[in-house]
Structure 1
Amino acid sequence: MNAIDTFDAGVFRRIAGRRSLDPRLPMDIAACRPHVVVLGELILDGWWSGSIDRLCREAPVPVFDVLNREYSPGGGANTAVNLAALGAKVSLLGLIGDDDGGRLLRRLLTEAGVGTRGVITVPGLRTQSKTRLSSEDQLLLRFDDGARRRAGTAETLLLGQAQGEMVAVAREVLPDSRAVVVCDYGQELLPLGLASELRSWAPQNPMFVVDAHDASRWAPLEPDLVTPNAAEAARLAGRDVETDRRVDWAREVAPIILSRTRSRNVVVTLDREGTVLVESAGAAEGAAQAHRTWAHPVPNKQASGGGDTFVAALTVAAASGLPLRLSADLAQVAADVAVHRPGTAVCSLRDLSDRLSDIPGKVVDPGTLMREVSVARAHGLRIVLTNGVFDVLHRGHTSYLEQAKELGDVLVVAVNGDESTRRLKGEGRPVNRLEDRTALLASLRCVDYITVFHSDTPIPLIEALRPDVYAKGGDYQAGSLEEAPVVERCGGRVVILDYVPDYSTSAVVRRIKSRR
């Protein structure tokens, strides 16, 4: 039974109707089960842990005693494994060596449910591997093995034959695919000539995603999406990364990347700062058309493959019918799951569902908030605090909350209780009760924690939390805030954000009343 037979058009339409991160989405994707083809350069990731407690006799260097060896599919193989874990039917196309590493990689892929008929063994080629050594949770060294393409006549002939076998399988599996992901890391093992031919082999016009060190190499494919990281985006745009404003920089260089890669859309991945999606339809209209996703960074240096998880989740979501922006939001959640785990981690549908179901956990009492912030601060993360009533959530609120998030790593929103709101705003307020106000805020990806305070000012909370940044909307002035000296005394700084004119809860309420 092929992917067309198993694809449920009714489920596809239901998924396409989603407009928010619903915990039911992963199960809908499972029912949809889109067929995704991965054309990739394949890597075997090794994670060796051990101890160091003596020096070598031969030289003054430490001796690493290996205690445990673990291996995982990496590179394009990791993308394929994540796709399978996220509910896709996966056909993998790539080359491996006729060696122990290649045989192990094939076995791991098969166990993960990835179709490996298009994984071709090349005699004389060493399988690319990346092995990390760590001791007591500290990464010490990574050593890479495996040759790139070699120039010898015999090797070139064998490689050409293997690529021919891979192309033959591609012709068979592409016709019923709903998405194709190209994972090109510069090993020079993928035949670039396919770039101008792949679309002609896929009559269903699947989504083509290029995740490459140099996506311009695949411009003849005219991909639907390219996913460079910051360094790759800089090379494509010919502009150095502006490290103090990477998000704005990504928005600015996106049109150049779209032009160079001939892609319809681009997502620039920025690690702890999330991602920036720019769709070609809105690129000419300026940076305001960009869509930002928010990461939940971790200090764990032993995590690898978060980008592969992001690409896999975005692809399977879009192939199942989700709008691209919502697919990017879902992919960010999946990447957050992966980077919170050691090694080359994978996010499954169950992981994704559990994380989405945890959204109400954003609303915490002050005691829980202090514990969570203490852990975040111990890991070097910056804490941003803002507060307000948030009675009728509008564009002014969402704009300034997104700006506030950009000032640090963890955004805490303190919300006035109902009685506090009534004292502050007068009778008839709040329009929406506290539970509704906090639930709406919890649905925003830029918000990490929400807590409620019942005093007339947030000063007690500021003194307890000691935020690195205290942010307020542009309708305030720092000199008029009685909280300002308290923030500064606690070692933080006050930031007044941009004002969005004509947007306020009072104005919204007046407009509603005037139309009765």
Structure 2
Amino acid sequence: MTAGGAGQGQGGGGNLPDGHVPYGPAGYGPELSEQRGLAAWLPRRLAEQHPAVLVVGDLILDGWWSGPSDRMCREAPAPVVDITRREFSPGGAANTAMNLASLGARVSVAGLIGTDDAGTELKRQLLAAGVDTTFLMEDPDLVTTTKIRISSGGQVLLRFDDAAAEIPEDALAALAAVLPAAVERQDAVVVCDYGTGVLAGPVRGRLTGALARRGPNQLVVVDAHDPRPWAGLEPDLATPNAQEAARLLDCRLSGGPERAAVVTGHGQQLLKATGARAVVVTLDRDGTVLVMADGTSHRTWARPATEKQASGAGDTFVAALTLARAASLPLTASLDLAQAAADVVVHHPGTSVCGTDELGRYLESFADTALTADELERHIRAHRSDGQRVVLTNGCFDVLHRGHTRYLNQAKQLGDILVVALNSDESVRRLKGPERPINSVADRAAVIAALSCVDYVTVFDTPTPIPLIEQLRPEIYAKGGDYTPEMLAETEAVEAYGGRVCILDYVAERSTTAMVQRIRNGEGAVVSETAVSEP
């Protein structure tokens, strides 16, 4: 996200004194199941749901050792690092559990550790974070998996891993025996299978059998190096990374943003291989791609750190995604929230977690993000010098709904930089009447800016965005609606400098109007037989 600069007033973060949320029609707090946009109050609202989540899988102790290095080893051409600092953090499935606890979930963990120093430290940190370790099995004959990174001057020089060559059969049997009790009364179960052998054999069989009898509202997420052995679970979500997805597709996913198009094009193949209702492929610096059984997809765009010495952002992503879905946030909004949480931790050194308050502050930072046209023009000039294409779209975006987010994701994929121009409050009143907008332009700008697909937000007060178009000269002007280019007053201005007008999915005005009316009437969501469902 590169938006920032001049604001339009009070931002959209934080709860109001009377308990109402700042982004909701007429002060009404939106139902989480209908919330589409991200706002600073959302992480706290999700944490208050306190969903019960079980994390099952490969627990690791991560070590980050560092110190100065100013000489070479005499015995070999290798640097000598004088260790001055040693830090340890839960990694792997344990890091997923730590992130879930930090975000407000009631977390239990099931897995295997040794009774060695590493296992003792790992369990200590889990307990200190409030994680229930009742189902964490300890075995004196097992070596706790550790991954120690040696760094100097901010550069990781070496990583050495220590793990059990063979897992004792009685340890596997002990873990398998507790799994039926462990999965009971859980709102969600996360399977973290990194291929160490802990989740093979009797453990996989017992876990699969226990989850096969799960209730309709129990969420199952599979985060595995190879999700295929878990396809029989028919998980709600599978979360392979790019390399793992490439193996599933038996193809090569070269680096770069074009990977997203390849993943989307092979969506049905990924769904079949994983057995999942939906698959989210994480693409590191290129964000994520969600593919669903009905053929629809959703993108997020990462805001990566310039210098990276971090680990575990994928664990944070899975944790935030699980928490949000377990609390009934829509899948696409859950994906955006998970991307925001991952964006937070990539700026932390080492293996770290994203907490409720930190995520709220991060989302609050998008308040007061609307740029003036002149500021925006300077940013766009820099992007063009890098060969990037600018997409501009505009609208009121008063109460965000699925049609809006789908449309904005489509607009982003037309170019490299997406600019959203919002109608000012007075402009909205002129267009839609004295009772609109429901949300002020400051709140609307904060919510739109928090979407990972949006790069910049600006505000215009003219009858049409033509003056803004003529100043910014976007390569592509995108419009969502029941239009043709010939029907738009903006088309002539765009084509005059060689730009292109693109018409995307129709976003019906009645979607917002009906949503506002339902909230004012205290009604729940309306389920239509013809509505497109979301897992």
Q: How far did 1:350 drift?
A: 1.2
Q: How far did 1:225 drift?
A: 1.2
Tell me the SS of whatever aligns to 1:171.
Answer: helix
- Separation in 2, partners of 1:458, 1:170: 60
Corresponding residue for residue 275 of structure 1: 288
Cα 1:367/1:118, change in 2 over 3 Å: farther
1:284-433 matches, cutoff 5 A: 286=295, 289-365=296-372, 385-387=390-392, 390=395, 401-403=408-410, 405-406=412-413, 411-413=418-420
TM (norm. structure 2) is: 0.73
Tell me the SS of whatever aligns to 1:328.
Answer: helix
Deviations 1:54-96 (A, max 9, x none): 2233344322222222111111010010011111111111112
Tell me the SS of whatever aligns to 1:176.
Answer: coil
Q: How far did 1:184 drift?
A: 0.7
Q: How far did 1:127 drift?
A: 2.0
Corresponding residue for residue 6 of structure 1: none
Deviations 1:3-59 (A, max 9, x none): xxxxxxxxxx95334343343332333332111111110111122222222223334
- Separation in 2, partners of 1:315, 1:398: 20
Tell me the SS of whatever aligns to 1:21.
Answer: coil
Q: How far did 1:345 drift?
A: 1.8
Cα 1:216/1:389, change in 2 over 3 Å: closer
1:387–1:415 CA contact under 8 A, matched in 2: no
Q: Which has the higher contact order (CA 8 A, sep 6+)?
A: 2
- Separation in 2, partners of 1:411, 1:311: 26
Q: Which residue, 53, 69, 72 being the options, matches 1:36?
A: 53
Corresponding residue for residue 187 of structure 1: 196
TM (norm. structure 1) is: 0.75
- Separation in 1, partners of 2:45, 2:508: 37
* RMSD after superposition: 4.0
Paired letter, 2:367:
P
Corresponding residue for residue 72 of structure 1: 89
Q: How far did 1:359 drift?
A: 3.2
- Separation in 1, partners of 2:286, 2:261: 11
Q: How far did 1:252 drift?
A: 1.9
1:297–1:409 CA contact under 8 A, matched in 2: no
Q: Which residue, 221, 246, 249 being the options, matches 1:237?
A: 249
Tell me the SS of whatever aligns to 2:308.
Answer: coil
Q: How far did 1:328 drift?
A: 1.7
Corresponding residue for residue 472 of structure 1: 477
Corresponding residue for residue 228 of structure 1: 240
Paired letter, 2:395:
F
Cα 1:436/1:146, change in 2 over 3 Å: same
1:23 counterpart = 2:60: no
- Separation in 2, partners of 1:373, 1:144: 45
Structure 2 unaligned spans of 5+: 1-29, 480-484, 510-535
Corresponding residue for residue 160 of structure 2: 144
Corresponding residue for residue 272 of structure 2: 259
1:451 counterpart = 2:464: no
1:359–1:442 CA contact under 8 A, matched in 2: yes
Q: Which residue, 169, 173, 195 being the options, matches 1:164?
A: 173
Q: Which residue, 110, 123, 129 being the options, matches 1:112?
A: 129
Corresponding residue for residue 223 of structure 2: 211
1:15–1:320 CA contact under 8 A, matched in 2: yes
Deviations 1:132-178 (A, max 9, x none): 223232x232323223443xxxxx5xx21112222233222211111
- Separation in 2, partners of 1:412, 1:333: 19
Paired letter, 2:159:
F
Deviations 1:72-131 (A, max 9, x none): 111101001001111111111111233222222111211121112222223343222222
Tell me the SS of whatever aligns to 2:368.
Answer: helix
Q: How far did 1:267 drift?
A: 1.0
Comparing 140-149 with 386-395, greater Cα deviation is found at 386-395
Cα 1:361/1:232, change in 2 over 3 Å: farther
2:149–2:157 CA contact under 8 A, matched in 1: yes
Tell me the SS of whatever aligns to 1:443.
Answer: helix
Deviations 1:338-368 (A, max 9, x none): 2222211211111222223333233235787
Paired letter, 1:25:
L
Q: How far did 1:412 drift?
A: 4.2
- Separation in 2, partners of 1:14, 1:417: 26
- Separation in 2, partners of 1:100, 1:371: 56
- Separation in 2, partners of 1:501, 1:38: 39
